Structure 1
Amino acid sequence: MAPPRDPRRLCRLVQEGQLRALQEELEAAGGCQGPARDTLLHCAARHGRQNILAYLVEAWSMDIEAANRDYKRPLHEAASMGHRNCVRYLLDRGAAVDSLKKADWTPLMMACTRKNLEVIQDLVEHGANPLLKNKDGWNSFHIASREGDPVILRYLLTVCPDAWKTESKIRRTPLHTAAMHGCFEAVQELLDRCDYAPDCRDNCGVTPFMDAIQCGHVHIAMLLLEKHKEGQTSTVQTLLSLGANINSKDERNRSALHLACAGQHVACTKFLLQSGLKDSADLTGTLAQQLTESRDILRDFDHTVKS
């Protein structure tokens, strides 16, 4: 059969869910590929048209493993958009659950870019491997940490307890990623359930604490200090040498002094005071020095005032 004059029309019919019009077009002209070498299956899966997906597979015997120019299969499309009905249909028809698209992304990795637990569960229950890594060294847990849904992280740790023990090719951990992207609940989950070293560093020497501070997520930096019980004086020195603003504050108007005093970090507090950081009240009117019980810290505040 001759191909239709405008292949994009078939894709548009799929996108709009016009099954009857699509049937008429195909009967007249046969199947085709879209402008990006997508098959109509790709288009149906991307837009969540499970009825059209089933029609194309069952009436036209279209290949569910057809790959486009990025090596995406229809399952990649359905998973990346969170269309559970299409994901389940393709899996039930025998789609390869760990097929790789360009850059070695699996359908599970793509599902983890969406906060859709049911799709992730369907893929895992059909054998998807959370430990597979893409070309950058990220596994599915790493990707889920970037999106920051603690429920999904909890599920992945339940089905694969070692999923957190991963580093990218430049040695960045899921904790680095969650801290950098400001995912507070994800950071909490990672600190509670995973055994990350307090000073884990990537190839550039950056710790999760440094990521949080550099990106302005002071509340996450405070959480990391509290959980890991580290003063991070050397980290603060490094940040200031890189041009970080010592006077930056979080949404509650707390400064780095509040963090250091709340954590009872003597050396860190002393360094901040020597660097010129002044004590100031947060939104509740609380000064940093009111958060400490350390006599050494209070003595440093007195010496700074006198000097």
Structure 2
Amino acid sequence: MFAGHTALQAASQNGHSDVIKVLMKYDVDFEIEDKDGDRAVHHAAFGDEPSVIEQLHRGGADLNARNKRRQTPLHIGVNKGHISVVKTLLDLGCHPSLQDSEGDTPLHDAISKKRDDMIGILLEHHADLTITNNNGFNSLHHAALRGNPSAMRILLTKIPRHWIVDEKKDDGYTALHLAALNNHVEVAELLVHQGKANMDIQNVNLQTALHLAVERQHTQIVRLLVREQCNLNIPDKDGDTPLHEALRHHTLSQLRQLQDMQDVGKLLMGLGTPGADKKSSASIACFLAANGADLNIKNKKGQTPLDLCPDPNLCKALAKCHKERHSDSCLFPSPNGGANNTVIIRNDQESLEECMVCSDLKRDTLFGPCGHIATCSLCSPRVKKCLMCKEQVQSRTKIEECVVCSDKKASVLFLPCNHMCACDGCGSLMKKCVQCRSSIEKTVPFIVCCGGTPPPAPMPPGIMNNGSRDMTKDMQKLQQQLQDIKDQTCCPVCMDRLKNMIFLCGHGTCQMCGDRMAECPICRKAVEKRILLY
């Protein structure tokens, strides 16, 4: 040893392959460690010497050797950004998912270093993205925590099983929770759109991702989750919904503003400017109310969201937004934060009923032969081609009241005769069209003729209950099967990581636990050899 290193270690780090040949000729020891536990192969990784790594491998050096921080040469290659070293080690068959003293795999390190090229190479060599570090973060959690959208995109394209997207940490946080908590909007969008993440999963405090986004006032995350139709009324452990959370935050910000206001005269004159927190919380609360958040749900203290809001003007605004959500519009600040930039949320039902030409009157003219309803009777003579399908309009028929009951407007199109002369209730009883007496093969609702989607068909109560009961049983059975698989494949010592090391006795543990054991935890036989599973 000189300055703490052997000649082989110095030659490996500096790429002196001829010197290494001579040393190998005289049976040099590859596995001598320096004060940090680094061996010659570690030094080759430090020095970015892939050819030396190949040379050491041919001589029998252990490519999975650990230093005192439990790092393999692959960890070092990733952390130093030496892509050629990483490629060489993986091509030579080193294990891609061993953990260091902090439980991080090379994949965790590549995500931290934002090295997408290394992430792709590791996944191509079957790196395990389900392995968790000492803090309980798997690779998806880690990418969400770090706010690395490019890494998340790669991980989601290579994910082996879909349920991993919704895998929880010990505290119940999923990757989507972490993205929402830290305002990583692009990561959250990838998880929702590409990963199809379940937005209604709750953590140990029974909070959804929406709870966390509202609590931190991350408006873009709130908008994303609501737009993708997450459940707005899930209560947390205290019974609070996201709307409770928004209004509580609004009230607290008002109180802080009152405490910080030095000039009482300004406050009385209304010159005190409200803080950004207050504005954001109020906007979020109105947005939630306008999209269906329930104003009457009580938490465990018996409080509704409105009970938490002492501002009468805001209470009125919330009630109005909630009442008009099916017939009017509600404003919500745009991502740019400008005073005049707003996103208008309208009800689809109303927009489908208004005339596509004048937008003043409602649609009441059936075009033939396409069967679409696009305009009012005043605008229809000017339309030569259907505005929805571009087919030539050959006939225009104004939709009148139902010819059977004369009570409601006709709202069912009969096929193949293309007549609309009966309402929903009467049309469902008919076998033949009352206008032309031809057999009815199919009926099309008014909203579908306008370009909308048909309403879901009601199910008989008995069938619905049986179906939901069967679905619940199937779900419980699948969950039990999944738990059985996890029990069979997880380490019997830590009960957290997957088994990836076996002993000669046939029993196995994870690599982190197995490296520290002198005897098998199952049969108590002495551990003579440890075999890593690839």
TM-score by length of 1: 0.71
Contact kept? 2:97, 2:128, Cα under 8 Å: yes
C-alpha displacement at 1:132, in angstroms? 3.1
Residues 246-271 of structure 1, C-alpha deviation per residue, up to 9 Å, x if partnerless?
77648xx9613333444524657874
For residues 1-307 of structure 1, what are the structure 2 equivalents within 5 Å? 3-7=1-5, 18-20=14-16, 33-46=33-46, 48-51=48-51, 53-54=53-54, 57=57, 62-159=61-158, 160-162=160-162, 163-231=164-232, 234-238=241-245, 245=253, 249=276, 255-262=280-287, 264-265=290-291, 267=293, 271=306, 274-276=309-311, 283-286=337-340, 291=344
Structure number with the higher helix fraction is 1
By how many angstroms is 1:95 displaced?
0.8
Q: Structure 2 unaligned segments of length 5 or more: list them.
A: 234-239, 255-273, 296-304, 318-331, 348-534
Alpha-carbon separation, structure 1, partners of 2:341 and 2:98: 55
User: Contact 2:283–2:333 (CA<8 Å) still a contact in 1?
Assistant: no
Contact preservation (8 Å) 1:178, 1:186: yes
Where 2:88 maps in the other structure, the secondary structure is: helix
Q: Could you tell me how far 1:125 is from its partner in structure 2?
A: 1.7
Q: Which amino acid aligns with 2:338?
A: T
Contact 1:261 1:292 in 2 (8 A): no
Shift of 1:65: 1.6
Structure 2: which amino acid aligns with 1:256?
S
What is the CA RMSD across the aligned residues, in angstroms? 4.3
Give the direction of change, closer, same or farther, for the CA distance of 1:145–1:248 in structure 2 (3 Å limit): farther
Preserved CA contact (<8 Å) 2:11 2:19: no
Structure 1 Cα separation of the partners of residues 62 and 50 of structure 2 = 15
C-alpha distance in 1, partners of 2:341/2:222? 18
Counterpart contact for 1:230–1:265, Cα < 8 Å: no
Instruction: Name the aligned partner's letter for residue 127 of structure 2.
Output: A
Deviates more, 1:273-282 or 1:233-242: 273-282
Determine the C-alpha separation between the residues in 2 that align with 1:123 and 1:217: 33
Bigger proportion of residues as strand:
2
- Superposition deviation, residue 231 in structure 1: 4.0
Consecutive unaligned residues of structure 1, counting only runs of 5 or more, are: 295-307
Q: Percent identity?
A: 22
Count of aligned pairs between the two proteins: 285
Which amino acid counterpart does residue 282 of structure 2 have in structure 1? L
SS of 1:172 mapped into structure 2: coil
- In the superposition, relative to structure 1, how do residues 113 and 291 fare at CA in structure 2: closer, same or farther (>3 Å)? same
Q: Which 4+ residue blocks in structure 1 deviate beyond 6 angstroms? A: 8-14, 277-282
Report the Cα offset of residue 144 of structure 1: 2.1
Partner Cα separation in structure 1 for residue 252 and residue 11 of structure 2 = 53
Per-residue deviation, 1:241:
5.8
Three-state SS of the structure 2 residue aligned to 1:110 is helix
Q: Offset at 1:155?
A: 2.7
Residue 338 of structure 2: SS of its match in structure 1?
coil
Distance in 2 (alpha carbons) for counterparts of 1:191 and 1:37: 44
User: Are 2:214 and 2:245, in contact at CA under 8 Å, matched by a contact in 1?
Assistant: no
Q: Which has the higher contact order (CA 8 A, sep 6+)?
A: 1
Could you report, residue by residue, the CA deviation over 1:211-244 in whole angstroms, capped at 9, with x for unpaired residues? 3344453322332233235445723434766896
TM-score after normalising by structure 2: 0.44
Deviation at 1:161, TM superposition (A): 4.4
